[in-house]
Each structure stands twice: as C-alpha cells, then as structure tokens.
Chains A and B, each alone.
Chain A
Amino acid sequence: MNLKHTFKTSMVGLTTNRSRSFLTILGIVIGITAIILVISLGGGAQQLILGQVQGLGTNTIAIIPGREPSGPSDISALYSDSLKQKDLVALQNKANVPDLKSIMPTVLGGGTASYNSNAYQVSVFGATDFMAEIFDLHPDRGAFFTNDDVLSRNDVVVIGSKVAEKLFGNDNPIDQKIKIKGRNFKVIGTLPSTGGGSLFNFDAMTLIPYTTAQEYLLGIKYFSRIIIQTQNDSQVAATAVDITRTLEESHNITDPTKDDFTVQTQQDLANRLGTITSALTWFLVAVASIALFVGGVGIMNIMLVSVTERTREIGLRKALGATDRDILSQFLLEAVLLTAIGGIVGVILGAGLAFIIAIGLSKGLGVNWTFIFPWGGAILGLSVSALIGLVFGGYPAKQAAKKSPIEALRYE
C-alpha cells in the first residue's frame, strides 16, 4: 500500500471517532503548548534582563564587598565592609588602573522620608554625579547633584517619581525641604517613572551625594559598591585584573581565594542572569514534558483500544491482501498523525498565548517585552510529538500487525 493510501486510511480511522481523537490529542496539545509558552516567555524574559543589563554599558565593572561564600560556614563572606576610602584612592591612581575612565562609590540605606505630614519609606542611594550618566537618568524637573555637592557633603536630594507623588502629590517639590531620617534635604531634582518591570527601579529612591549619606545619614566609612567604567569594552577584562591586583595589594591579600571583594563585569552579570533564566526555562520545560509523557501514554491506551475494536477490520484487510507492514504503517501513521496534529495545535496555541502575554506585559508593566517566536522550541515540539506517536503508537501497531488473519476475522 502506498503512503498516500495509508494516509487516507489512517485519516478515515481518526475522523470516524472525532471526539475520541480530539480528547486523545488533548494531552499532547497541553504538553506542547506549555513547552512552547515556557520557552517563548523564557526567551523574552532573558532578552529583557540582558537588554537592561547591557543598557548599563558593557564597559561597566562593579566591585562588591565580600566574596561568594565557598560553603555554608563561609556565609559571613557575603557581608563585608571591606571597601573603604583608601581603596578608592588606590583605584584612582593611574599607575594601578590605567584604563579607568570614571569611578563611583555608592552606599545604600533605607529610611523614612517626610514632608509636612506626609511620610514614605524610601531607599537611600548615595552616589556621585556620575550616577546620572551610568544609569541614563534625566531629571524631569530640576537637575542632578554635582561633583561640588559630593565634595561639600551638601544636603541635596534627587527623588524618584513615587517619592515625589507620595510626599508632594501634585505640588512641585523643587527647592522644598524634606526630612530623611530626621535630617533636612533640599530637593533639587525629580526623576521620571522608570516603570515597575524595570531591573533598576528608581521610583521609590532618593539619591543623595554618597559623602553626605556616609557622614550624616548612615554613619559608615565603607562603600556598598564601587562602580568603574573603562574607556571602551576591550579594556574591561584587563581592567578587572588591574582592579583585583590593586585591591589585593591594598588589603594585603596574597591568596586570591581569600579575597574580601568581588569584581563583576556587566558581561559576568549578563552571563549569570542568562544562565539563571535558561536553567529556570529548562526546568519548566522539564515539568511541562511530564504532561507530554502522560499524553503519550494516553495515545498508547487509545491506540490499544482502537486495535482491539478493529480486530475484525484488521482480519479483513489481511484476508484481502494487506501485509503485516501495511497494517503496521496504518496504525503507526494514525498515532503519529494524532500526535503531530496535537503538536501543531500546541505550537500555535503556545505561540499565540506567548504573544498575548508579551503584549499584556508590555502594556501592563510598561516594559519593552518582545515576543519571540521559539523556532527551536517549535521544531523541538513537533519532532518530540511525532516521536511520541512513533514510540507510544509503535507497540499497539505491532500488536495489530502480528495478528493472524483468521483469528482476527473470527474475533467477536
């Protein structure tokens, strides 16, 4: 029997029991839909995160106090006050880090900000004027603080959109005085909303000179981060080495495994986040695959029922000249058609849902979430579903093929 006729015969077999065929492929549809959805959304999330990380500039290096703990007993290595003023001086020395373009120490804290009777819990970000450039911040009212403000430890603050709204409502906050942790700060700028889906959200932040934050607000001598930018991307790797060497010297460390700081390039961060989102995506794919497996068992079950029900038909076909191979192909093709149709429907549904969710996320969260059609996932999904048809349809088809014609004809 040629393929065209086997195909026709199989289609008749499937359309005879439409609702059963539909219910049978449901498991495959759900499994493939879930996989396509997860791969597509995972890809979108990864693009979004990487886009934001890369938006900071790939020539950016962050120095973080402490190191990654080597084990549970080493957990204290995470928290460290190891980055101090002398490190800043050492790093600024051109002899130590020749390709350094700019350097910015930052400190982080929190507290209550208040204006008249309005109060709001805010994050306090101490930085330099260089902050505006790195994070691409443009105050919609007023201006950012200057290097002079940093040097003079001025009590000036740039506030996020949420802070402005909570403390001032519709009033203009510029030149008003707000209290943060009991100290008066003059508002010199406000930031536009950065949106809820953004990796770096400044809406609930107050930005002040790091010197002011260290001295008057937090009472600390160390930094939460030191951000460094090189002239260009190609200098990042060498500069990271220079930084490590300079800080090890400054901290009198000879064993690199005992470093009390971590040097992280944007590329490191991007790679790490990429690895995490991929791992998460594939974990979810694995979970969704369980649905696919269950769907495959469903196919096998129904194909076995179908083979039993149609025993007489098999006997008749054999009596009329069908070979074992003809019968095998007929039932195998039925199973593969079922799963392939399930796979196609699943890919369309999964991609469609991912598209709708992408639009929803873009509109709802105001982020630039791009829909990615998962070509790899679609091809994988279709191949896997066809494979499931072959694997789970194989046993019932073999059972059908090996029936003796007369026993099949006699079957009641």
Chain B
Amino acid sequence: MAVHENIIEVKNLKKSYSEGDTTTVALASVTFNVRKGEFVAIMGPSGSGKSTLLHVLGLLDEPTSGSYYFNGKNISAYTRDQLADLRNREVGFVFQSFNLLPRTSVLENVKLPLSYSKVPEAEWDARGRAAVESVGLGHRMDHEPSELSGGEKQRVAIARALVNNPEIIFADEPTGNLDSKSGKNVMSLIQKLNITEGRTIVLITHETATAEHAERIIRLMDGEIESDKKVVNRLTPDAEYVK
C-alpha cells in the first residue's frame, strides 16, 4: 500500500439525522485534511457538530454524503465487519466518560481490544502490561475502575487506546470529567504520545486551554468549519506529569 501523507481526507462531508418529518443537519459540508503525526483540536459550541464529526472520523458513524478517505482507504466501500477491524487495528478512542468495564481489572480493561484483534493470545498479557506501564499505572494493574481516581481512569482508557498500537487516537472531551490537575496530567500524556511517539491525535474540546496543546485548532459552527488555524503559542507537556 502506498504511503499517504494524510491520514484523514474529508471532502464535502455531510451528516443529517431524520426523525419523522424533521431532519436535523449536524454537519452541513466539511472539507479538511489531517496529516500523519498531526495533533488537531476541534472546538465549537455544543450543537456545532464537533461530536458528530469525531464519530464519523472515528468510523463509529457513517456520513450521509461526501467522501472520507481514512489512511488512503475510501471507507464508504467498507462493510460493518471491515470497519470494526479498522477501528480495532488503526484507531484508538478516549471518551469523556472513560467507558471502562466495571468489576474488571485495569489490565483486563486494557487487553479488551486485543481480544477482538488477530494478535496471538500469548502476546496479550505482555502488551497489556506494557500499555498500563506506559501511562504510569503499573502499580494499579489489578485494581478495578471503582478503586481509581478520575485521572487514573482516563489514563487506563488511554492505555486501552494504545494497546493495539494505532496510528491515530480520537479523544472526545478527554478532560471533560476531570479536575484541572488531572486534566493537565491527561493532556500532557496525550501530547507526549504525539510528540515523542508521532501518533496522530484528533481531539475535541470546548476548553481553549486543552485545545492549545494541539498544533492546529479547527473551529466548527453550525456544522461548518468556521476557522482552521495553527496554534501560535502551543502549550508544552507539563514536565511534572510526564515520565
């Protein structure tokens, strides 16, 4: 497969929901690209379509019209199973509400994507442990989510997103449920993944402070791109939180 410069190429992307007679347009027409290794923050007020955009980009939802090339692949031709496989191998998700399985240990939570992958089972444990270690939670390996703080939970979720070694990570308001200290900690971790590991990050947030960890901020308004700018004074990872 040819190497593509852009991991995301969207053109005239539209998404509307019909319920009965009313049709709600979430994305009117969106066109932009994301380069490999780029850190993009998507901002906008609620209802601007930023969540819908992230879900479409993250292969969780399908656009109504327009084209979407993910890593050079036209995903409109993909079946449900093929999309599931892409989500598993090439995409990592971090959600606002963590979405960890309750009564399941940190390690087992992190290993969950592996169980849907083709990675040989013999490697699961080592990969899971490495991912947990990489977010600095090696000492919490066998704890259950209920025993963790919010920040720790989100770091487990990040470890889970990393376990299949995806090229891109989609983060949906990752600091939305965290206090500012934990939020900074999590953002430092995400930024580190971008800077030191070269992973592409697409993040949505409504906090400017969070968005300024990115290289570029796309602002949405009423389902259209209002602005698409480079961040001038990019925040750097807080040394205090990065190992």
Contacts and interface: CB of A to CB of B under 8 A. Distances in A.
Given A319-B87, A324-B80, A405 B115 contact: no
A199 interface: no
Interface residues of A, number: 23
A1 B93 CA distance: 19
Contact of B116 (A317, A406, A409): A317
B55 A406 contact: yes
Nearest to A402: B80
Interface in B63-106: 80-81, 84-85, 87-89, 93, 95, 99, 101, 103-104
A16 B102 CA distance: 10
A323 B82 CA distance: 9
A325 B79 CA distance: 13
A180 B132 CA distance: 98
B99 A2 contact: no
A323 B80 contact: yes
B99 A316 contact: yes
Contacts of B127: none
A320 B121 contact: no
Interface string B27-62: 000000000000000000000000000010010110
For chain A, what secondary structure do more than half of its interface residues adopt (helix, strand, loop), or is it mixed?
A: helix
A318 B112 CA distance: 11
Given A1-B116, A409-B99, A320 B81 contact: no
Contacts of A324: 80-81, 84
Interface string A380-412: 000000000000000000000000111001000
Contacts of B101: 313, 316
Contacts of B60: 318-319, 405-406, 409
Contact of A317 (B61, B103, B112): B112
A56 B88 CA distance: 75
Given A5-B115, A316-B99, A409-B99, A323 B121 contact: no
B117 interface: yes
A318 B115 contact: no
A298 to B, nearest CB: 24
Given A406-B60, A409-B60, A321 B85 contact: yes
Contacts of B87: 318-321, 405
Contact of A2 (B81, B84, B121, B164): B121
A312 B85 contact: no
Given A312-B99, A409-B99, A318 B84 contact: yes
Interface in B104-127: 104, 112-113, 115-117, 121
Given A323-B81, A324-B81, A325-B81, 17 more contacts: A1-B115, A12-B104, A16-B103, A318-B84, A319-B60, A319-B87, A321-B84, A321-B89, A321-B113, A321-B164, A323-B80, A405-B60, A405-B61, A405-B87, A406-B61, A409-B60, A409-B99
Interface of B: 55, 58, 60-61, 80-81, 84-85, 87-89, 93, 95, 99, 101, 103-104, 112-113, 115-117, 121, 160, 164
13 contacts: A1-B115, A312-B99, A316-B101, A319-B93, A319-B99, A320-B112, A321-B117, A321-B164, A323-B81, A323-B85, A323-B116, A325-B81, A406-B60
